[in-house]
């Protein structure tokens, strides 16, 4: 646990020190769970967004994008169910005055039991070696089966109580399990209350005519209300998708995990409209496609897992999360939801406008079903950043901090470094820079000894360093150093573009899908 916390602290301080993420309004002591992306962060974020957009829109003939407004007609949120049901159950600790999500306290309690199961599994795996059969062990070991039953009982009781809005029972469960405030150990809890997560705002100048609005809590509804506009003007045939990236806002109760849970964040969503009855196939297909997208970045298959939902949201007939191993454990990175025709039907009902598709092949109209893929851009940023940050022991006994960002996502693809700040080397380096900058984001640095500059670029995540030295003046060659292997090769200046391109071409990355 302490190791995890240390690693997470390193992520936070590195993100600040190397110009990736700053606390918002830091000079006023910040605003809780709101962050700003700095000079390198904004590039990494843009590259992740582009990588998603290319995979989802450019690579699919039947998916197009839109950019809907953050402010929407307030009836949108009545229709979508957000006004009535976008709530989290909150509970306060009377002694510490800290606020928690009641469901998260209970889930964390279960995660501790799960950790015990994992401990038993690891012990048994060691004991039985090659002969160990995990499935069989999980199904037959008395202690493990007991733990699992306990988890199931707790979670199904919590799910049922939340569904029935029986908040008294949620509180009773917390008390029966003797769950304490994780920070202070106090068990002095208030009642559980529902808390709506939408931020309200007003449109209009005068107090009596102003209209109450919400900042959108998800981008999806901007797609649903535009469904027919896009379908008609784009002459889209089912199945087809509409993609969008953009800001969403949630007044999260507990927001203590850096950019994992923010109050203002960005989503990358795609709603795929399908013929009713085919949703299960598309749901399975999108689960596979999205996992492949993640794996194409080479961050280790062992760091991803699916979590299929037992308890479904009111609009869904199937849902799964792609979870990623963050520094604080496996947590949701992306959701894939089969949303039925709930949203389109609700908007039809509330707007009084038809939102149906006329299927020429079948010669009839119907309300399409929707399978959506929804990923948090900031969470993806945290996944990439935390996974890439490594402390590496070197052969000479020292160590280096290196940010092994997938080169396709790195803010700068190469740093151009004149060995010394004289003898005409900076001029040659500038010329290389001027040539490469048409194709790649490149960085120029002539300050400090070259070794120190290499370390700086390693820590900033730049995949290549190109060094101009005296030999360059004689034969137009430079050294190119790879961040991950630290290997240096002498190459001709004219070869540089090709070499870098091979490592950062989107085609080479997406084709690993």
Question: Interface with ligand ATP includes 334 (CB under 6 A)?
Answer: yes
Q: Spell out the long-range contacts of 302-310 with Cβ–Cβ below 8 A and sequence spacing 24 or more.
A: 303/387, 304/333, 305/330, 307/332, 310/155, 310/156, 310/159
Angle of CA points 24, 30, 34, to nearest 5° = 45
* Total of residues contacting ligand ATP (CB under 6 A): 16
User: Could you say whether residue 252 binds ligand ATP (CB under 6 A)?
Assistant: yes
Contact between 388 and ligand ATP by CB under 6 A: the answer reads no
Binding range to ligand ATP, per CB under 6 A, among 76-84, 221-229, 285-293, 375-383: 375-383
Query: Shortest gap between Cβ of 79 and ligand ATP (angstroms)?
Result: 17
What lies within 8 Å, CB to CB, of 2 at 6+ separation is: none
Given 92, 103, 378, 445, the residue binding ligand ATP (CB under 6 A) = 378
- Least separation in angstroms between residue 461's CB and ligand ATP is 22
- Map the footprint of ligand ATP across residues 206-225, applying CB under 6 A: 218
C-beta of residue 303 within 8 angstroms of C-beta of residue 397: no
Q: Which two tokens stand for residue 203?
A: 């449109």
Binds ligand ATP (CB under 6 A): choice among 82, 250, 404, 413 = 250
Q: Which residue has the tokens 């169910």?
A: 81
Structural tokens at position 474: 């004689």
* CA nearest to 254, candidates 38, 81, 107: 107
Pick from 265, 282, 286, 454 the residue near ligand ATP by CB under 6 A: 265
Tokens of 23: 């606390």
Residue 18 neighbours by CB distance under 10 Å: 21
Instruction: Record the tokens describing residue 423, joined without a space.
Output: 């003898």
Work out whether 379 is an interface residue with ligand ATP (CB under 6 A): yes
Residue closest to ligand ATP (Cβ): 376
Strands of the sheet containing 304-308, edge to edge, are 63-65, 240-249, 264-274, 369-376, 329-340, 318-326, 304-308
Cβ proximity to ligand ATP, 221 vs 267, nearer residue: 267
Asked if 333 interacts with ligand ATP (CB under 6 A), we say yes
- Give every CB contact of residue 94 below 8 A, 6+ residues apart in sequence: 186, 188, 189, 190
Q: Does 267 bind ligand ATP (CB under 6 A)?
A: yes
Look up residue 189 and give its DSSP letter.
B
Q: How far is the CB of 400 from ligand ATP (least distance, A)?
A: 31
Cβ closer to ligand ATP: 250 or 413? Answer: 250
List b or e across 187-210, with b for residues whose CB sees 16 or more CB atoms inside 10 angstroms.
eebeebeeebebeeeeeeeeeeee
> Per rule CB under 6 A, is residue 317 in the interface with ligand ATP?
no
Nearer to ligand ATP, 253 or 478 (CB): 253
Q: Six-digit token pair at 82?
A: 């957000």
Residue 425 to residue 422: CA distance in whole angstroms: 6
Q: Which of 114, 332, 348, 359 binds ligand ATP (CB under 6 A)?
A: 332
Q: How far apart are CA 179 and CA 423, in angstroms?
A: 69
Q: Which stretch binds ligand ATP (CB under 6 A): 302-310, 339-347, 373-381, 425-433?
A: 373-381
Q: Which stretch binds ligand ATP (CB under 6 A): 134-142, 201-209, 259-267, 458-466?
A: 259-267
The minimum distance between CB 269 and ligand ATP, in angstroms, equals 7
CB 450 within 8 A of CB 467: yes
Compute the least distance from the CB of residue 387 to ligand ATP, in Å: 15
Q: Is 375 in the site for ligand ATP (CB under 6 A)?
A: yes
Instruction: Report the C-alpha gap between 312 and 319 in whole angstroms.
Output: 7
**Closest CB 250 distance from ligand ATP, rounded Å:** 5
Instruction: Give the range of 46-54, 370-378, 389-397, 410-418 binding ligand ATP by CB under 6 A.
Output: 370-378
Establish if 80 lies at the interface with ligand ATP (CB under 6 A): no
The site for ligand ATP (CB under 6 A) is made up of 218, 250, 252, 261-262, 265, 267, 332-335, 374-376, 378-379
């Amino acid at each position: 646990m302490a190791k995890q916390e240390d690693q997470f602290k390193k992520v936070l301080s590195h993100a600040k020190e190397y110009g990736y993420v700053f606390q918002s309004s830091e000079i006023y002591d910040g605003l809780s769970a709101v962050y700003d992306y700095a000079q390198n962060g904004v590039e990494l974020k843009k590259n992740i967004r582009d990588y998603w957009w290319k995979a989802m829109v450019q690579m699919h003939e039947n998916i197009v994008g839109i950019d809907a407004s953050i402010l929407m007609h307030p009836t949108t949120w009545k229709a979508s169910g957000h006004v009535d049901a976008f709530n989290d159950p909150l509970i306060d600790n009377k002694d510490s005055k800290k606020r928690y999500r009641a469901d998260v306290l209970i889930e964390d309690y279960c995660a501790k039991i799960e950790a015990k199961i994992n401990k038993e599994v690891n012990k048994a795996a060691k004991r039985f070696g090659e002969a160990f059969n995990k499935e069989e062990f999980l199904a037959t070991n008395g202690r493990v089966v007991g733990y699992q039953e306990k988890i199931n009982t707790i979670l199904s009781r919590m799910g049922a109580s939340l569904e029935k809005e029986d908040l008294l029972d949620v509180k009773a469960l917390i008390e029966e399990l003797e769950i304490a405030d994780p920070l202070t150990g106090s068990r002095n809890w208030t009642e559980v209350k529902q808390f709506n997560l939408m931020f309200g705002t007003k449109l209009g100048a005068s107090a009596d005519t102003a209209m109450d609005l919400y900042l959108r809590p998800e981008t999806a509804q901007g797609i649903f209300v535009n469904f027919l506009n896009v379908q008609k003007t784009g002459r889209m045939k089912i199945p087809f998708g509409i993609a969008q990236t953009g800001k969403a806002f949630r007044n999260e109760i507990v927001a203590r995990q850096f950019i994992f849970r923010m109050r203002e964040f960005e989503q990358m969503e795609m709603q795929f409209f399908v013929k009713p009855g085919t949703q299960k196939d598309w749901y399975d297909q999108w689960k596979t496609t999205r996992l492949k997208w993640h794996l194409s970045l080479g961050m280790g298959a062992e760091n991803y897992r699916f979590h299929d939902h037992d308890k479904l949201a009111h609009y869904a007939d199937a849902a799964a999360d792609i979870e990623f191993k963050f520094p604080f454990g496996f947590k949701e990175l992306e959701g894939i939801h089969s949303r039925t025709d709930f949203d389109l039907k609700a908007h039809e009902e509330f707007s009084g406008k038809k939102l149906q598709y006329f299927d020429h092949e079948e010669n009839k109209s119907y309300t399409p079903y929707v399978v959506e893929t929804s990923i948090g851009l900031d969470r993806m940023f945290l996944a990439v950043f935390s996974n890439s940050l490594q402390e590496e022991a070197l052969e000479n006994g020292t160590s280096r901090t290196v940010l092994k960002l997938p080169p396709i996502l790195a803010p700068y693809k190469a740093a151009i470094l004149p060995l010394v700040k004289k003898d005409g080397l900076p001029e040659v380096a500038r010329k290389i820079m001027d040539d490469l900058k048409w194709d790649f984001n490149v960085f120029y640095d002539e300050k400090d000894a070259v070794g120190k500059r290499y370390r700086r670029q390693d820590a900033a995540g730049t995949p290549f360093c190109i060094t101009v030295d005296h030999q360059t003046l004689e034969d137009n060659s430079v050294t190119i150093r790879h961040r991950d292997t630290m290997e240096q090769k002498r190459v001709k200046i004219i070869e540089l573009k090709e070499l870098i391109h091979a490592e950062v071409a989107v085609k080479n990355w997406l084709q690993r899908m």
